[in-house]
A and B are shown apart, each in its own frame.
Chain A
Amino acid sequence: MFRERIIVDGSLTVTPGGYALAVRLPWYRALPVSAVEQLDVALDGVRAPADAISFEVNGRARSLAAARDDWDESWYVLDDGVVRVAAEVPPGSAHEVEVVLGVRIPYLPVAGKPLLMTERCVKTMSVKETAV
């Protein structure tokens, strides 16, 4: 659902330690942060290791491992999530970004295991500006 909306257009920034981008929830309603079971990010085909990625909603950044245990917070369906990646960014003003987002649908347990919905989005984007 809404896979083309996962990567927010024009949201790619280069940071001192890497890069950042905004992502949307490819679903119709808010989900607990812990529903984010998979968040793969690649820039120009170079996939970031999971421990180089942080994920921020509601003004709080956490590692992907910490996100999985965070069921008290929710990611509202209209809010951007901010993904920050520690990485070497190759030169150039435009980059291909790939995000694979797997979210658990908490009310759809099939045989005791909630459905996992995985969506992939690829966009080539110009770097917006250098964020601090």
Chain B
Amino acid sequence: MTPPKLGVTLYSFTPYFHARQYTFEDLIRIVGERGLGPGLEVVGFQSIKGFPRLPDGFAARFRRLVDDAGLELSCLGANADAGLRQDRLLTEDELVEYMLAQLEAARTLGFPVVRVQHSVTPDLMERLLPHAERLDLTLGMEIHSPHSVGHPKIQALLERYERLGSPRLGFIPDWGASLTQLPPSLLRTYRDKGVPDELLTAFRDQWNAFHAEPLIMDDAEQGARFRRMREINERLGGDDVSVRIGTNSVGLFGHMDPADWKQIMPWVVHVHGKFYDIDADGAEPSAPHDILLRDLVDAGYQGYISTEWEGWHWNETDDPFAMVAAQHRLSERVFASLAAS
């Protein structure tokens, strides 16, 4: 059995980077030194000022730095900024042009895979395909909460992929779409910040109630869930801080069955190993790694899993490097037990 390759997205270290505590170059070096690769994923609009324009000589310096750190480029996170303008969404032609500039940057930087987002429709994906071929890139549509494999947008892409039959188009599962419960550290952190237990319990109960309902199939249902959480916040005397617990729970923590990723497994070109907590037993309490990794291994997936720690949205005490390292240890333990069984 050849397991998937591990790696990390620098997004995991956002609090340090945003605080100007570590530069982009520092982070690459540290990922190498601490053995958090080999796969390296970067969000273009985060790490590179002026992206998708690249300063002269930047790409060569970047590739040397990655080589020196003993890392391998896994995926460039592009953004489908359909809402670039205030007055209207971009037209299809504008969005193709916007994505194409990022594809060119990915090629120049040496990334094999580009993450795209759901404003790119099946038609636009098809229009980008010849460019992916020309630039030797694979395009992966991220499946992120509140979407799921059965969402009409994803199903429409899947149909198009099957018709086009190109290995250069695929999906990037984000494990945040298939959580089994709210991250325990979320509730703990806000309890420590003084948010009343009654409100925290109400948010949790509402998330659990959503969990028992059918998955979101359109944006109107998502809007209704945002409103439901805001109502709970108001009814129980919450403020503009506590409301985020509720609204983030709709936006970040999806309700898909983790075993349902199997439905799109042949089309997986990269994985976002999104996680929030590591418990006392070294397990992830909300993202069942035994199931998530088992199904990737069973499908023979040998690409990268980019560890993506997002607990920093509320957790300001745990060190992101240590969290990523702990998730890698968990992944390696699961791989070892799968190999032994």
Contact = CB atoms under 8 A, between A and B. Distances in A.
Nearest to B49: A76
Interface residues of A, number: 33
Interface of A: 1-2, 5, 24, 28-32, 34, 37, 68-69, 71, 74, 76-79, 104-115, 118, 120
Contact of B117 (A1, A71, A107): A107
Interface of B is mostly: loop
Contacts of B15: 2
B41 to A, nearest CB: 13
Q: Contact size class for B?
A: 20 to 34
Interface string B15-51: 1011110000000000000000000000101100111
Contacts of B281: none
A107 B49 contact: no
B18 A111 contact: no
B46 A71 contact: no
Contact of A104 (B14, B49, B83, B223): B83
Interface string B310-337: 0001000000000000000000000000
Contacts of B11: 28
Contact of A107 (B17, B81, B313): B81
Interface of B: 11, 14-15, 17-20, 43, 45-46, 49-51, 79-86, 89, 117, 119, 219-220, 222-223, 240, 251, 313
Given A106-B79, A107-B119, A28 B14 contact: yes
A76 B47 CA distance: 9
Contacts of A24: 18
Choose among B80, B81, B89, B219 the residue with the greatest number of A CB atoms under 10 Å from its CB.
B81
7 tightest A-B CB contacts, nearest first: A114-B83, A106-B81, A106-B83, A111-B219, A29-B46, A29-B45, A76-B49
Contacts of A71: 84-86
Contact of B79 (A29, A69, A79): A29
